[in-house]
Structure 1
């Protein structure tokens, strides 16, 4: 490829990226497209690369047509998008099977099986850093989530102290509490602490094999390994880590949950540190085997409670100081106090409240005042007195009301005395919680989201035809929200 051809392709890629950003929005673009690179355009095939196997697979499966359309606006001859894995600036094998003409011998060391595409040593993955392995090296670590940026208070001081101790012990090749299980509702800092542990341990000892995985990421790689017939290699890789951090444990299900149980047992036997975070105590994770829940409960279980006023004020003050440093924008003490008193849900809503006021100031030119905060944050404040209903609460209430054992609601039984209460429970979960349909399905015995949608629509129709049922469900709603 000549210099002029290379320059033309770079300009083309710049235009395509701009179209994608305008099409999908800033957030989606940053998540899935920002780290893609154009390698070359040969004939009618666009060759792109991504830094992780997960990103390759996800973009190829979900966005290939959109990318193709963006290219065709400039060049109608483009027919295919081909995404490869990029390692240290180079390309490795494609995610699609190679044709016989493309196949070539792969050099391996010590007679290793070349079909097992697993890095020799898992490493901490940092965003904005040159990738050193594929997606099996873990989920991306957020560089902003360190111990220094964590706002401490009475609600989270125990969890913070334990997290610091874990990082210090891991760097010194010792284990204090194992496993450690941190749980809280959303937005109270679980993920921040796991990221901070990874950062601190890696900085103290860069040779440590540290893996941070979300439950979805863990499931993706286990399923992919099974499909590649390299599950043994995946298990062997995972058991060689020094520090394993699993986030959003409540989403783990199926065979990958069983595999996590085996991995947990192996790591604990080998005195390797394991830290898990979830939105409920171990005993409430019904998708996990009883032995796994017992193992998790037998370690150190650390809850993070709801934030008190002082901690909320500290969080808002920290965010306001960041805004002042970046934009020169002043948040009066009265506004900070108002946000801390009015927004009582969780830390993300506090950040969101500050962001809304920044946007309101920039768009309207209004000074940041309490009246502006009252107007801008009205919906956050209206919801502050509403009780957060959990799926677990719904299961217990429906089980008690209809005299159906809780485990029957989660089972595969199809008898009428079980199906109807189960459908009502799914309807209430959709109506009273912020969980998505797939999430609700997972909590109801690993059901598909289409099953949940069918149940919701079925109950809605029954309520239209049956006034007594409508009153009964409204009563359940009131009891759950009290």
Structure 2
């Protein structure tokens, strides 16, 4: 797979280390590990990267596996960009990197993942609401707070409709979710339902609530995160069970997919699109969540974006202060039930809800910090101690999300050319410079990969984008006026 990707690179591409053209995936991954060890030091590497393994490379996406969910979350939060950069340095034809948690209790090369086992072995006489046997290789039943859906994915019992705090920013999404969950099997009130929201605003809670409520009514439900859908499909291809995987997936009543923006790879996206079309044509309900509007999911195939945008599209907005107060009070009540001596004054709740203005996860963090202070110090929580405990959570809002289209329009206006000129094949100096600056800004200010940026600039190759980025990076170190000009563009885009 890697050899084929490397051979397809343009002739003028300057390879990295000698011999990389003939490298196997294992050799390339060994070089990535050496890079990380050299950059981060032995201690950091041993703590976070020693147990990361390369699973496979499919459609230009490197699938890396880790043994625990915690390690996956930590790497995604702290080292995702460094991991991606080093992988693409050794395998420049990669489009991206995906992390997933590997199952250590069985031989993954010989058996399909839990999703496929559950789909393939589920007897037709068993309804999804009935108790399910333990999955092969599991040492124990799921913990008490977890349920297992029709695809073997764990659902958190706590993420139900009763526990969801409703406010102005999410009431429409909540109403649509309840309507879909309560609809009889074979009906689709809003198809597809596409929910988009930023991090920590409750979209995963809503999706899990839909899946659990529908499951309790006897519907056949499949709940996937994007990485589990990709992993399941890739493993089905490797184990030659892809046909069974597709057929069983199309036999469900409700498909729920979270974080759709992370679905990568041409063949996987094609299968996802075929599944959506088949289920919609059969009158089956689809619920999908992403972190932005469907039309802004540049990495997804245009036909998938069109399908998602053609149903009911609902945004979960930012949490207002009143809603944050309700959410925080609910979290503190839960902690009080487990720690009866833990009390927080209403004035403190009001203060924390006012200053922690980002998302629900930061409110969880604030509640946990208040509990830690009260239990470790043995002192009541005052406004002064609360301020000290949550200081790191009080921060200004993140800069607004920058779109490639916004960059192109601003740069075109700044240099007195049209956006069509930037996307065209014109090679005059008056067009090439702003085009390269726009490519550089797209790489610096958006999470898009080089191939994605190239596609948004008139279908150019990723090596063209890489050349532009390197040229502008060098130019701004040598030309102070250009440095100030590019810096001004960055600030204008982020305001």
What range describes the TM-score normalised by the shorter chain of this pair?
0.5 to 0.7
Shift of 1:356: 1.8
Q: Distance in 1 between matches of 2:421 and 2:252?
A: 35
**What does 1:185-264 correspond to in 2, within 5 Å?**
185-205=198-218, 208-255=219-266, 256-264=268-276
State the SS of the aligned residue for 1:382: coil
Give the one of 358, 362, 365 matched to 2:375.
362
Match of 1:308 among 320, 325, 332: 320
Distance 2:213 2:233 in 1: 27
Query: SS of the residue aligned with 2:256?
Result: strand
Q: 1:161 Cα shift?
A: 0.9
CA displacement at 1:265 relative to structure 2: 0.5
Corresponding residue for residue 156 of structure 2:
142
Q: What is the distance in 1 between the residues matched to 2:432 and 2:128?
A: 50
* 8 Å CA contact retained: 1:121, 1:237: no
In 2, Cα distance between equivalents of 1:141 and 1:406: 47
Instruction: Answer whether contact 2:120 2:245 (CA < 8 A) is retained.
Output: no
Assess, with a 3 A threshold, how the Cα gap between structure 1 residues 370 and 116 changes in structure 2: closer, same or farther: closer
Match of 1:340 in 2: 353
RMSD: 4.4
Distance 2:351 2:66 in 1: 42
1:353-405 CA-to-partner distances (Å, cap 9, x unmatched) read 11122223334444311112222222332324x5x32142x541244314585
Report the Cα distance in structure 2 between the residues aligned to 1:151 and 1:243, rounded to whole angstroms: 24
The answer on 1:425 being equivalent to 2:442 is yes
Query: What is the aligned partner in structure 2 of residue 290 from structure 1?
Result: 302
When residues 470 and 142 of structure 1 are mapped into structure 2, their CA distance, relative to the original with a 3 A threshold, is farther
Quote the Cα distance in structure 2 between the aligned partners of 1:462 and 1:358: 52
- Residues 440, 452 of structure 1: 8 Å contact kept: no
Please give the alpha-carbon distance, in whole angstroms, between the structure 2 residues aligned to 1:164 and 1:454.
50
Secondary structure at 2:287 match in 1: strand
Q: 8 Å contact 2:200–2:361 — kept in the other structure?
A: yes
Q: 1 CA distance for matches of 2:314 and 2:117?
A: 37
- The residue correspondences of 1:370-389 to structure 2 (distance < 5 A) are 370-384=383-397, 386=398, 388-389=399-400
Helix, strand or coil at the partner of 1:383: coil
The Cα shift of 1:446 comes to: 9.1
Distance 1:468 1:138, change over 3 A: farther
Deviations 1:194-214 (A, max 9, x none): 000111111222xx3211111
Label 1:360 to 1:193 Cα distance change in 2 as closer, same or farther (>3 A): same
Report if the CA contact (8 A) 2:250-2:278 is conserved.
yes
Structure 1 CA distance for aligned equivalents of residues 317 and 451 of structure 2: 25
CA distance in 2: counterparts of 1:58 and 1:281, whole angstroms: 30
How far is the alpha carbon of 1:339 from its aligned partner?
1.1
Answering whether residue 485 of structure 2 is matched by residue 472 of structure 1, we say: yes
* CA displacement 1:284-325 (0-9 Å, x = unmatched): 122223332222222111111111121111001101111211
Structure-2 change in CA distance of 1:155 and 1:398 (3 Å):
same
Offset of 1:348 from its aligned partner? Answer: 1.1
TM-score under structure 1 length normalisation: 0.66
1:166 aligns with 2:186: no
CA contact (8 A) 1:247 1:277 kept: yes
Contact 1:124 1:137 in 2 (8 A): no
Distance in 2, Cα, partners of 1:397 & 1:278: 22
Unpaired runs of 5+ in structure 1?
1-22, 33-54, 64-82, 99-114, 430-434
Quickly say closer, same or farther: Cα 1:406–1:158, change in 2 above 3 A: farther
- 1:223 CA drift (Å): 2.4
Residues 356 and 395 in structure 2, CA contact (< 8 A), matched pair in contact too: no
- Output the CA distance in 1 between the equivalents of 2:202 and 2:296: 20
For 1:431-470, list aligned pairs within 5 A.
444=453, 462-470=475-483
CA distance in 1, matches of 2:191, 2:236: 27
Partner of 1:69: none
Aligned to 2:134: 131
1:271–1:452 CA distance, 2 compared to 1 (3 A): same
Give the total of aligned pairs: 375
Shift of 1:271: 0.6
State the shift of 1:157 in Å. 0.9
Q: Which whole-Å CA distance do the structure 1 matches of 2:463 and 2:283 have between them?
A: 42
Alignment equivalent of 2:329, drawn from 317, 322, 332: 317
Aligned to 2:311: 299
